[in-house]
Structure 1
Amino acid sequence: MQQTSPAAAITDAVAALMPRARRELAELVAFRSVADPLQFPASECAAAAEWIAAALRAEGFSDVALLDTPDGSQSVYGHLPGPAGAPTVLLYAHYDVQPPLDPADWTSPPFVLTERDGRWYGRGAADCKGGVLMHLLALRALREHGGVPVGVKVIVEGSEEQGTGGLERYAESHPELLAADAVVIGDTGNVRAGQPTVTAVLRGMVACRVRVDTLEGNLHSGAFGGAAPDALAALIRVLDSLTDQDGGPAVEGLDPAGTWAGTPYPEDAFRADARVLDGVRLVGSGEVADRVWARPSVTVLGIDCPPVVGATPSVQASARALVSLRVPPGVDAGEAGRLLAAHLRSRAPWGARVTVEPAGEGQAFRADTGSPAYGAMAEAMREAYDGASMAVVGQGGSIPLTSTLGGLYPRAEILLIGLSEPEARIHAVDESVSPDELARMSVAEARFLQRYAASARR
């Protein structure tokens, strides 16, 4: 009788667990856990945190706790002791989500997990409530086949999308809590469905609110337009100065010309992933990978101004915008924030008054891809993806806790994986997760834990 291989046994176990995973993901997606009480009740985040804490207790975790972090959010922590002498692995995800934008634009309700065309749709399905289920699936499959071979710590953050730094500051104040030999950050994704990927570089992030004031109050545009300084027009000029004629970064003091030495990102693949309209050119210069992984980029996330419907013929007295700046490893996020603020203040026309208020910050990160954990993950992914080799790429986004963990535990091996491949459309309308990716990545994580434990015993 032929014996089932360890990889096949884990694959079969995860497949049998998938119907339960879908039910649980539906429950988790139903919580409108946007970490902004101005948009959604704080009770939604609290309920999501309680759900995760209960799930960890059900899996035998001890010391399960809801951690009150300095930004007012809660993170969920749990510890599952491992066999004597086994290494400890920290598993990370977050339960807070981006706002759904306009629910009317969604094909199905954003907080109702809906299956369509082989994918599961809902806000947070991939980013990052699906990551929570990925960790649970891996651990459950291991329990059915020999047990979990390492000590496991789980931390599920409650304000990652806001970038307000609550968990980072909590970790810095409790440096022993998250100490581990290896860290698996379950909040990135494959370069495309079916291509296993680890992310080795994250850009840092700075966000700020900029306000321009020119008048004591709005004025009639017919009576005063032409001489009265328009704050909205001034703000537009300030924002336009953040990029050059090609749309590349132009924040004074930041190097706009970094290069990426790893896996390339073909322009045709990027255009398809980004859904760029025919005839519209990409912004910036150089290779696509340079622009999205190795250089700064600046984005205007929102502007407070009168909507077109209902607007009156007025010269605006004040206007406000939210600006995001991404910076590559080697650039301190705090210094980048100071450069951005100085740039915004210096570009105001007509003597307009400009105030800049910080709105979030996270440092960049670069991993050591030559570590034993990366070898174990490469083999685990090969098994989960039918022999496909693991790609190693960068990511333009930020996960602020990653650099904090790297600073606190410099000997820890940090790997970034997840479910946010391009079709997932995270942060956008109709976010979704591929159940096949969820199953395969859960198998990969489970096999990684087995392989990592074995390598530690040698």
Structure 2
Amino acid sequence: MPHEATTPEPASTLEAIVDGLMDDLCADLKRLAAIPSIAFPGFSPEPVLQARDLVVELLRGAGVSEIGELNLPDTAPVITASVPPPTPDAPTVLLYAHYDVQPPGDEHLWDSPPFEPTDIDGGIRARGIADCKANVMVHIGALRAFGGRPPVGLNLVIEGQEEYGSAFDAYPPTDPDAFACDAMVIADTGNLRPGTPTLTTALRGTADVVVEAHTLQAAVHSGAYGGAAPDALLALLKALGTLHDVHGDVAVEGLRREPWPGTALAEDEFRAVAGVREGTPLLGSGGLGERLWNGPALTVVGLDAPSVDRGASAVVPHARARLNLRVHPRQDPQQAQDALVRHLRRLRPFGVTLTVTPGDTGPGYEAATDGPAYRAARAALRRAWGDDPVHAASGGSIPLVNGLAAAVPGAEVLLFGAEDNLCNLHGPNERVLRSELRGALLAEAAFLAEYAAAHRPGGAA
């Protein structure tokens, strides 16, 4: 049976309905978060399917009867569902989230078992409870708030392999009718800080490059040959040292960087979130928003070289590094990758020629924020949190956003949800705050009502 509710009109009605839903919503969130739905190679697929089944059960219980499934090669099932618009002039909104989660990592770093949802002060702790199962429950809670009969049409897409990546990232443009909508809510983000209503309006792009140095046929004695024999690791380190200037800013020509016009974390907040050791300076210069979101970042994410504990007294014949480049939301990631490849191929550290291999790229995204959906969203977030929303960005990429935007180029894309920058997503002791879950649910329900009202004859365009 669907959860019964009266279509809200007065502000107090919707708030009361949401507050009345919270206990059941948190209980169902715990059920979902207890399932280790890790869609990575080497993990059992059964929990992923178990999570899928529970999401379908919860959608049916919220009043959704049209539920399907998209199965693509080497990809966990994508749940699709729809609710027809109540009137011919009502808009359609696509709601997105994902039910898979990151692996827990070192479980000794958790204060409680990662797949035993545990109540904490103000919230619940578990792997994937913020990223992104709380956002799945926001969508289900919004359906419950309207008794399964929202004031707009809905297309729901609940993905099962977002964290690892899959064939679904590029699928939407191949079947645009399946994702038709006027606006979409991508609930895989959250607030800049708890209690600060936030619309994520930009995502950095990404590109990978592997660089390596080959100098000897095999390792040779460092005492007998060191000093003349070319050391591959030294050559590679010298090359990597050219990627940043003395301030730590990326020094590769052709990478776009601009001041960030929105809101960003204060430095002390960022230090706390990132776990920067006391006395250690941050990299780079300029505003944090510029460094994190509106400019490039280069990270050595992998290095093949002898380990300290097992290294022999020998000159290294081969060394390799994998670089991850994050780029300005409006820069073509292929162009940015080409700039990095050119930079590295021009180098001859100690006369050594480097082998440079470009890898995958993913585009960034920047939303247009002047349409009716954004006006409705700003009003809804203000209602939910009692303050004007800020615009922020994400240094991480969400490849599916570009796929959906390409499938439905006329739709407005909104990113908000129940996560926050302190929730430890992808790290130990991930948690969601009950206040953020409640705020995201109220914001989504209020958005659907506001957006529907704007499309009625005589409504605000």
TM-score w.r.t. structure 2 length? 0.87
| Cα shift readout 1:15-74 (whole Å, capped 9, x = no counterpart) | 33333333333333334334430x423444343334323333443434433323356343
Does structure 1 conserve the Cα–Cα contact (< 8 Å) formed by 2:179 and 2:407? no
Say whether residues 1:135 and 2:134 are aligned partners: no
TM-aligned CA deviation for residue 357 of structure 1: 5.0
Does structure 2 conserve the Cα–Cα contact (< 8 Å) formed by 1:234 and 1:352? no
| Cα shift readout 1:130-157 (whole Å, capped 9, x = no counterpart) | 211111112111217xx31111111122
Amino acid corresponding to residue 302 of structure 1 in structure 2: G
Say whether residues 1:75 and 2:74 are aligned partners: no
Amino acid corresponding to residue 284 of structure 1 in structure 2: G
Amino acid corresponding to residue 438 of structure 1 in structure 2: L
Amino acid corresponding to residue 29 of structure 2 in structure 1: L
TM-aligned CA deviation for residue 220 of structure 1: 5.5
* Residues 264, 174 of structure 1: alpha-carbon distance in 2 compared, 3 angstrom cutoff: same
Amino acid corresponding to residue 237 of structure 1 in structure 2: K
Q: For residues 42 and 311 of structure 1, what CA distance do their matches in structure 2 show?
A: 39
Question: Which residue does the alignment assign to 1:369?
Answer: 369
| Alignment map for 1:2-401 (pairs within 5 Å) | 6-37=10-41, 39-69=42-72, 72-85=75-88, 86-143=90-147, 147-162=149-164, 164=165, 166-218=167-219, 221=222, 225-255=226-256, 257-313=257-313, 315-347=315-347, 349=349, 350-351=351-352, 353-356=354-357, 358=359, 360-385=360-385, 387-401=386-400
RMSD: 2.7
Amino acid corresponding to residue 240 of structure 1 in structure 2: G
SS in 1 for 2:179: coil
Question: Which residue does the alignment assign to 1:425?
Answer: 424
SS in 2 for 1:423: coil
Amino acid corresponding to residue 22 of structure 1 in structure 2: C
Does structure 1 conserve the Cα–Cα contact (< 8 Å) formed by 2:97 and 2:188? yes
* Residues 17, 249 of structure 1: alpha-carbon distance in 2 compared, 3 angstrom cutoff: same
Q: What stretches of structure 2 of length at least 5 have no aligned partner?
A: 1-7
Q: For residues 314 and 46 of structure 1, what CA distance do their matches in structure 2 show?
A: 50
TM-aligned CA deviation for residue 230 of structure 1: 4.2
* Residues 232, 34 of structure 1: alpha-carbon distance in 2 compared, 3 angstrom cutoff: farther
Question: Which residue does the alignment assign to 2:445?
Answer: 446
TM-aligned CA deviation for residue 391 of structure 1: 1.3
TM-aligned CA deviation for residue 180 of structure 1: 0.5
Does structure 2 conserve the Cα–Cα contact (< 8 Å) formed by 1:235 and 1:348? no
Deviates more, 1:369-378 or 1:404-413: 404-413
* Residues 134, 300 of structure 1: alpha-carbon distance in 2 compared, 3 angstrom cutoff: farther
SS in 1 for 2:112: coil
Q: For residues 312 and 455 of structure 1, what CA distance do their matches in structure 2 show?
A: 71
Q: For residues 59 and 210 of structure 2, what CA distance do their matches in structure 1 show?
A: 38
Does structure 2 conserve the Cα–Cα contact (< 8 Å) formed by 1:76 and 1:156? yes
| Cα shift readout 1:141-180 (whole Å, capped 9, x = no counterpart) | 1217xx3111111112233333x46223211211111111
* Residues 340, 62 of structure 1: alpha-carbon distance in 2 compared, 3 angstrom cutoff: farther
Q: For residues 30 and 220 of structure 1, what CA distance do their matches in structure 2 show?
A: 54
Amino acid corresponding to residue 378 of structure 2 in structure 1: A
| Cα shift readout 1:252-300 (whole Å, capped 9, x = no counterpart) | 3213x41122335443443344343332222111122221221111222
Q: For residues 346 and 137 of structure 1, what CA distance do their matches in structure 2 show?
A: 55
Does structure 1 conserve the Cα–Cα contact (< 8 Å) formed by 2:204 and 2:395? yes
SS in 2 for 1:330: coil
Does structure 2 conserve the Cα–Cα contact (< 8 Å) formed by 1:241 and 1:347? no
Amino acid corresponding to residue 373 of structure 2 in structure 1: A
Does structure 2 conserve the Cα–Cα contact (< 8 Å) formed by 1:70 and 1:167? no
Question: Which residue does the alignment assign to 2:3?
Answer: none
* Residues 286, 379 of structure 1: alpha-carbon distance in 2 compared, 3 angstrom cutoff: same
Q: For residues 381 and 174 of structure 1, what CA distance do their matches in structure 2 show?
A: 32
Q: What stretches of structure 1 of length at least 5 have no aligned partner?
A: none
* Residues 312, 414 of structure 1: alpha-carbon distance in 2 compared, 3 angstrom cutoff: same
TM-aligned CA deviation for residue 373 of structure 1: 1.1
Q: For residues 435 and 107 of structure 1, what CA distance do their matches in structure 2 show?
A: 19
Amino acid corresponding to residue 283 of structure 2 in structure 1: V
TM-aligned CA deviation for residue 225 of structure 1: 4.7
Amino acid corresponding to residue 43 of structure 2 in structure 1: F
TM-aligned CA deviation for residue 442 of structure 1: 0.5
Provide the aligned length of Structure 1 versus Structure 2: 448
TM-aligned CA deviation for residue 453 of structure 1: 0.9
TM-aligned CA deviation for residue 337 of structure 1: 2.5
Identity %: 42
* Residues 306, 369 of structure 1: alpha-carbon distance in 2 compared, 3 angstrom cutoff: same
